[in-house]
Structure 1
Amino acid sequence: MEHFSIRPFKDEDIDFAYKLDTIEQWNHTRNDIKRMFNYEPNGCFIAEISGRRVGHVFSISYGRLGWIGLLIANAEYRRRGIGALLMKKAMDCLLSRKVKTTKLEAVPKVANLYRKLGFVDEFDSLRLIRTGGKIITMSSHCVKPLKNREITQLAEFDAEYFGANRIKVLSELYQDNPQLCFVSHDGSKVAGYVMCYEAESGYRIGSLVCNPENPHCT
């Protein structure tokens, strides 16, 4: 008889998670997986069947707001409730951290799993891609390279739009890709910023946040 179990994610599971991510074509690098694990190691879990790794999920808490991501079950073991078990483990973990609201991003084919667990649709999200071609030139007089000493102020600005302070994520993204992070100021205040990082194929843009009332950054 097969035995299902959920255990904490460990450093030695990073290659396994990277392999699953590659199969799903989610375009994360191994370093992405490692960085997301480092955000909150105690919020990441592995599913096993009779000692064989078959899935994983990552979660992170930002005070009263929680986020769940990187939920993947090995295709060979799907439709056995593995995804639901991993989700419940992540949700319980966030509840233990006094999280009041949990969010996630979902693709249509698995959205019903989340709805069955009590999640409701908040809004639709588009995923865009741009390949090659000429870069559109725009005025960049107010956009400067982000500096490490500005991260705290940037995180406070970001929290106004995200709904919670996620400095631990923004700091890690910056440390990995300082040359791909930029900020705009309106006087002494942050007016907008963007962080980019290398993906398995190409680059990802985001987080990207701008003050809609600032004409130079919209």
Structure 2
Amino acid sequence: MKKVLIAAAGAMAFASLAQAADLPYRKDAPAAYDYAPAFSWTGFYAGATAGIGFGGFTGAEQYFGTSPIGGLYGFTAGYNYQQGKLVVGGEADFAFGHVGDSATPPMGGSSTGVARDFFTARARVGYAIVDRALIYATGGYAGADIRAMISSPFSNPVLALDQSSIANGWTLGAGVEYAITPHFSLKGEYLYASMGNNTYFGGSPASISGGLNLNVLRGGVNYHF
């Protein structure tokens, strides 16, 4: 009887081992890797800019001076669309500032020309040289609010003139932008703008016709929605 029980136990153990051998081998699940998605420039953005403007008044140097210079700071907004490495879009901006110069007018006293505001509406065409770095060219409309002031106690009658007018023109430029996070980017930009002549103080002894050529160097930060 004892031999029968030992034989039965051995048979059951052998059967269990055989059944286990028939089970499929279970491998550990492969490790999961969390890859960050590639950055895309597509979408709306808005931001702030600050920089310097310098250039020259045209046609009115004897009243406005020859080398206006000053700071510009403001806001910008736009939209990009990316296809492969190509990025196209549009951008508008408005900058406050004081880009001006002064002179001594022919009748004596003092006179000043100041570009107080500068604004543009431009197309942008860029190339994503790496995942988060963009170089671009830009061009379109440019305008400036130019204020003219003349004060001359020596003229007859005494002059104390002050008038502002919007000068309209065009701009071309280029820049580079880099996305430091999925939502924030930094940029550096150069613009050349040429704005046509306006007439100031029409009908007075100091009637002036002049425009402005402006170089703008600025940096900015954008938030991408």
Q: State the TM-score, normalizing by the size of structure 1.
A: 0.20
Q: Would you tell me which structure has more helix in proportion to its own residues?
A: 1
Greater strand fraction, Structure 1 or Structure 2: 2
Greater length-normalized contact order (CA 8 Å, ≥ 6 residues apart): 2
Q: Which structure is larger by alpha-carbon Rg, 1 or 2?
A: 2
